[in-house]
């Protein structure tokens, strides 16, 4: 076996998502398994270079995981010819400028979503990357989750017949930060810092709907700030200026209608933090992060509405669990593997900056729909 090293500048890995999912459960997990076997006698060895603004946090992270290379000088690391890929998991407001620098330096790009704060900015990044001839990808992790992979298996097998509707429920209660520490950073709740659940979650819903059911043709959304005051990391109160809940209706190519509620102000009464129910002419399914249950037309019971007597049947027990039929790896890691193979072997990869721009577009139109109180068509994007 020949070992080929790929050096990755990882910016923003001191944050929760960048640390846990991208560094530990993806790049370091690949190293723990001995690298990525490319199948041609070559093993790809990812070498992370940690980048950020806080030297003490970077050093602590590097020491924790036995990593040698870290820096607070983004320009210097981008000028390093040994760096192959630039990864960005910073706050969204800082991403665009850093990605432009990476493009100018000729680095391949792999970035978190949203790719930019505006659609114009997202499309500019895609055009710049294409013009530079570099490879680029945007994280779209949800479609690699076990539950949605099982759902896709049902779709590909024709289980649903004609899909009629998709209903999604996402969210949990994020503590305000006064008497219990919040699970999310305070900037998420300040619009001036790029926060808001529409900006955060509508890019996810765009690629989930697009990949599984068809392109989003229109959106009607209502955003709300249900909790107007929160407490930051220093336990100081601040005004929440961004939306913490959004209620969206999406018309899909092919005629299906999707309704998705997104909320950081909901207490969970479902099996998983996100669930999608898909109803079709031949069957229905409910998919979460890991599990998926289905009910075929031939096995659908015949409920009768009668509010005068107690319910005698357990509706959830009437659904069949969709089997794993395989091993499922971490979704972030799976997409990292695909992107690395794309960079090194030029294998096909379509989760690029244009796909990322579609997510930014849907978030923009969702916010506009809420502000104007009307439905907006979603134009098909091209570069």
The pLDDT tens digits for 155-177 are: 999 999 999 999 999 999 999 99
List of long-range contacts for 94-103, beta carbons under 8 Å, 24+ apart: 96/121, 96/125, 98/11, 98/74, 99/125, 100/125, 100/128, 101/74, 101/75, 102/9, 102/78, 103/128, 103/129, 103/132, 103/134
Q: What are the structural domains of the chain? A: 2-140+331-349 (3.40.50.720), 142-328+361-376 (3.30.360.10)
Taking residues 268-283, report their average pLDDT. Answer: 97
What the block records as the tokens of 274 is 């996100």
Q: Which pTM does this prediction carry?
A: 0.95
pLDDT tens digits, one per residue of 176-208: 999 999 999 999 999 999 899 999 999 999 999
pLDDT value at position 304? 86
Asked if the model's pLDDT at residue 1 lies above 90, the reply is no
pLDDT value at position 312? 81
pLDDT tens digits, one per residue of 317-370: 999 999 999 999 999 999 999 999 999 999 999 999 999 999 999 999 999 999
pLDDT value at position 119? 97
pLDDT tens digits, one per residue of 22-80: 999 999 999 999 999 999 999 999 999 999 999 999 999 999 999 999 999 999 999 99
pLDDT tens digits, one per residue of 123-140: 999 999 999 999 999 999
């Amino acid at each position: 076996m020949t070992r080929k090293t790929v050096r990755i500048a990882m910016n923003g890995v001191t944050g929760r998502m960048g640390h846990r999912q991208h560094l530990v459960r993806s790049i370091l997990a690949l190293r723990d398994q001995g690298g990525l076997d490319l199948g041609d006698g070559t093993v790809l060895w990812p070498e992370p270079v940690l980048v950020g603004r806080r030297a003490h946090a970077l050093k602590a992270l590097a020491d924790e995981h036995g990593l040698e290379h870290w820096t607070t000088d983004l320009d210097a690391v981008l000028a390093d010819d040994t760096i192959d890929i630039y990864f960005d998991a910073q706050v969204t407001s800082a991403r665009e400028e850093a990605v432009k620098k990476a493009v100018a330096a000729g680095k391949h790009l792999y970035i978190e979503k949203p790719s930019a704060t505006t659609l114009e900015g997202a499309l500019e990044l895609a055009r710049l990357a294409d013009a530079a001839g570099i490879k680029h990808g945007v994280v779209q992790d949800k479609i690699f989750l076990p539950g949605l992979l099982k759902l896709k298996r049902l779709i590909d097998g024709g289980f649903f017949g004609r899909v009629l509707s998709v209903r999604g429920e996402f969210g949990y209660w994020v503590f305000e930060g006064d008497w219990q520490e919040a699970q999310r950073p305070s900037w998420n709740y300040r619009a001036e810092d790029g926060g808001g659940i529409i900006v955060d979650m509508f890019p996810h819903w765009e690629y989930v709907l697009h990949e599984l059911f068809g392109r989003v043709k229109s959106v009607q959304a209502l955003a709300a700030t249900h909790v107007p005051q929160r407490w930051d990391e220093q336990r100081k109160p601040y005004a929440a200026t961004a939306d913490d809940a959004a209620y969206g209706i999406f018309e899909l190519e092919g005629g299906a209608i999707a309704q998705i509620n997104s909320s950081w102000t909901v207490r969970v009464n479902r099996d998983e933090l996100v669930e999608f129910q898909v109803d079709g002419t031949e069957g229905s399914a409910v998919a979460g992060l890991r599990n998926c249950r289905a009910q075929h037309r031939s096995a659908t019971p015949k409920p009768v509405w009668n509010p005068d007597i107690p319910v005698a049947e357990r509706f959830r027990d009437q659904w069949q669990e969709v089997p794993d039929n395989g091993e499922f790896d971490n979704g972030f890691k799976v997409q990292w593997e695909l992107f690395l193979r794309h960079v090194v072997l030029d294998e096909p990869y379509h989760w690029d900056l244009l796909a990322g721009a579609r997510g930014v577009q849907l978030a923009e139109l969702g916010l506009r729909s809420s502000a104007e109180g009307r439905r907006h068509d979603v134009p098909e994007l091209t570069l």
